[in-house]
Amino acid sequence: MNQPAPSPRVQELEIDAEQAGQRIDNFLLRRLKGVPKSRIYRILRKGEVRVNRGRIGPDYRLQSGDRVRIPPIRVGEAKPAPRTDGDRLAWLEQRVLFEDKGLLILDKPSGMAVHGGSGVSFGVIEALRALRPSAPFLELVHRLDRDTSGCLMVAKKRSILRALHELMRGDGIEKRYLALLAGAWKGGERRVSAPLRKNVVSSGERIVRVDPEGKPARSLFRPLRRFADATLVEVVLDTGRTHQIRVHAAHIGHPVAGDEKYGDETCNRRLRELGLKRLFLHAHALAFQLPERERLEASTPLDPELQAVLERLHEKK
């Protein structure tokens, strides 16, 4: 469904509690769909957008009760929503694990990005918005790598998004992953504390490396099943850095199976012969408690294709 073109008339809006807390530039980008970002910043810079009759900068955070004046803007038809495959959208709807008035948790499939961009026409969030065109608010709470499957949270209210982000800044959300690692694991659980830093190589590809100058990152690896030359582990994250599990696993000499960026090609080749066609990393469970609510737990088992790979491996006695 196409969004209506932005109004050619002056808009006078009052900010409610759900809209409060967001920056004015982000508010306008959502409100004026189809208007180029450069134009949004131009009308802010020229003072054409007013809050409580005064000029504001693009980083101003809206407060409940603010009165926002948006000038007339005409851009013709807004850009149509990305075209998506109807069958795949219906399939995504069937992967919803939990839903209430403020939150949706789904089992994200491997191979599907969480959002469009970088050559991807659409991702999970665009697909959900296409499935639910009348939903007033749908925003990602966190992200998963494109090739990682499992529990993904989408906020349906801004207040829930803020509350979950507050939990994420501490240790209020427990995230557990299942991963098949290359090599035979020795000993029991292992805590890895190794700072991570994002790098961009000459080709433009993003690489994350262990680096003393990086951001703190902590992971707990707990072996579950041992095979002759691979180990199924549960990983609990204390932090949520980009590619954290994949880089930490490679750092300790046990890269994630099927990982083409940080992995072991010999292991990957052998597991491809056993039917592994993707990254063996699955966000299988999360748990948290929002204020004045019961503790929420969500989980989803390994996809059948990953379970089949495990069954073809010889378990170590």
Q: Which residues are catalytic?
A: 145
194 backbone dihedrals φ, ψ, rounded to 5° = -145, 115
Q: How far apart are CA 242 and CA 125, in angstroms?
A: 19
Count of beta carbons in the 10 Å neighbourhood of residue 229: 14
Q: Report which secondary-structure segment, H or E, holds 289.
A: none
Joined together, the tokens standing for residue 181 give 């690692």
In whole angstroms, give the CA distance from residue 142 to residue 165.
8
End-to-end CA distance of the chain: 56
CA dihedral 91, 96, 97, 98 (to 10 degrees): -170
Among the listed residues 122, 159, 127, 129, the one whose alpha carbon sits nearest the alpha carbon of residue 141: 159
**Dihedral of CA 125/126/127/130: which sign?**
positive
Alpha helices in the chain (DSSP H): 24-31, 37-45, 86-93, 124-131, 158-169, 244-251, 265-273, 304-312
- Those residues whose C-beta lies under 8 Å from the C-beta of residue 167, and which sit 6 or more positions away, are 173, 288, 290
Please tell me whether residue 162 adopts helix, strand or coil conformation: helix
CA distance 162 to 168: 10
